Structure 1
């Protein structure tokens, strides 16, 4: 039976399925449990076992003293836990090594300097390996946050996407700050002259919302909320204006405050 040739995988294509990972672990607590097994087995050297938070050294001790556990169930439990903890360390290694490479490059290290320490033979291989290491910290948001394939092309593609998203978020925040600089004084003016505005319950409700958020309005979410409330006040006042067939407000200051808010909202 002739097999169909497999199509080459696109280098930037994310993994179809996320890999199975150990994820977060209470490593100190697990080492403490293994220490207890050795204490119960009267391991004569358990006093030399490294501290619970010294994961690597503790694992080395547990490996070399595995025969101190005489009970088969204890040996099996300890060995399985050690397998789990070594897998946990393996998962952490790529992200930490990638950060170390980043720091080395920031300190003006050349790719040639990283060739021997990354256990490769050429500068291009060092660059490619360092790029692949960064895949451990990335996901492809455009494809449902699937893990990034460990190829330089996929990593660079994901990093470009992340940079574009961050840039868009910064622009949106800058726009929100500029918009807030216009909205805040108009909202404040409405509050100062609220006694001269229509006393409709809906108008009162939205003015109360403005009064609650305006004094401490500092985050983009609060900026959006303030503009939402201002729009609601203008909407309710416009309804009242249509009902009464004349401009709302019992004072000229209140009418001017409403007109300024309506104009600002129409420009937005």
Structure 2
């Protein structure tokens, strides 16, 4: 019976299963534990071992002096820790080399210049290798919603999604800044003329909320809250007018401040 033909996977189709990764490690602490093993084994050269923070150099030392450890258990434990640390180091390589490539390209380096540095023979191969590294960066990024295949097509698509998301965030920030420029002066006028408003508990409460928020109001969430508080002041003033049949603001400036706030909220 002939074997079924597997359908080729689209190069941009997101991965279903995340790649297995070591992830975050306290490498200095692990190297410190390995140093302790060598000190307990009375390794006469341990004083020449690089600092715990110097991962690559420390691993080279531990490899070269593995025979100094006494006992099968200590050697096994140290070797397994080295396996994990080398894998961790391998995971970091793509992230940092991709950043170096990005800086080189920004500095005017052509793909033909980068090809021998990436140990490939052609500009196109350098480009594709860089894109595979970029896939690792995107997969490790908290901004990435989908696991990215290590193909140029998938990376381009992921970069386009990331650029669109960043643009949307910039638009949100710009709108928040524009909204703040309109809303903050109106809120300040309400506070400035609060003595000219009917001394109602609800009006006072919402004015107090504005007063507490206004000095630090910058984020979109805070601006939504400020708009809510301004709207609540207008609502309570108008409600008081309907119930009592009297103006909710007793001075011309206060009435103007409320009217301006009502107009802004309506728009």
* TM-score normalised by structure 1 residue count: 0.92
Mapped pair 1:201 → 2:219 = no
Q: Tell me what 2:92 maps to.
A: 92
Using the alignment, how far apart are the partners of 1:139 and 1:259 within structure 2? 52
Q: Tell me if the contact between 2:144 and 2:162 (Cα under 8 Å) persists in the aligned partners.
A: no
CA gap 1:139/1:83 in 2 versus in 1, 3 angstroms: closer
The 8 Å contact of residues 176 and 219 in structure 2, kept in 1 or not, is answered as: no
Q: CA RMSD in A?
A: 2.0
8 Å Cα contact 1:50/1:57 also seen in 2: yes
How far apart are residue 216 of structure 1 and its match? 3.3
Match of 2:27 in 1: 27
For structure 1, the residue ranges without an aligned partner over 5 or more in a row are none
Residue 113 of structure 1 and its aligned partner are, at CA, apart by 0.9
Contact 2:148 2:155 in 1 (8 A): yes
Who is 1:255 aligned against?
255
**Structure 1 equivalent of residue 169 of structure 2:** 169
Question: Residue deviations 1:109-168, cap 9 Å, x none?
Answer: 111111111111211111111111011221499x98232111111111111111111111
18-27 or 81-90, larger mean C-alpha shift: 18-27
In structure 2, the residue corresponding to 1:138 is in which secondary structure? helix
Q: CA deviation at 1:177?
A: 1.2
Partners of 1:140 and 1:216 in 2: how far apart?
Answer: 33
Post-superposition Cα deviations, 1:181-219, rounded to whole Å, max 9, x if no partner, equal 111111111111112223332221111011112233344
Unaligned runs of 5+ in 2: none
Q: 1:176-187 residue pairs with structure 2 within 5 A?
A: 176-187=176-187
1:20: how far off?
1.8
Offset from partner CA, 1:77-101 (integer Å, 9 cap, x none): 1011101100110110001010111
Count of residue pairs brought into register by the alignment:
266
Q: Are the counterparts in 2 of residues 196 and 249 from structure 1 also a CA contact under 8 Å?
A: yes
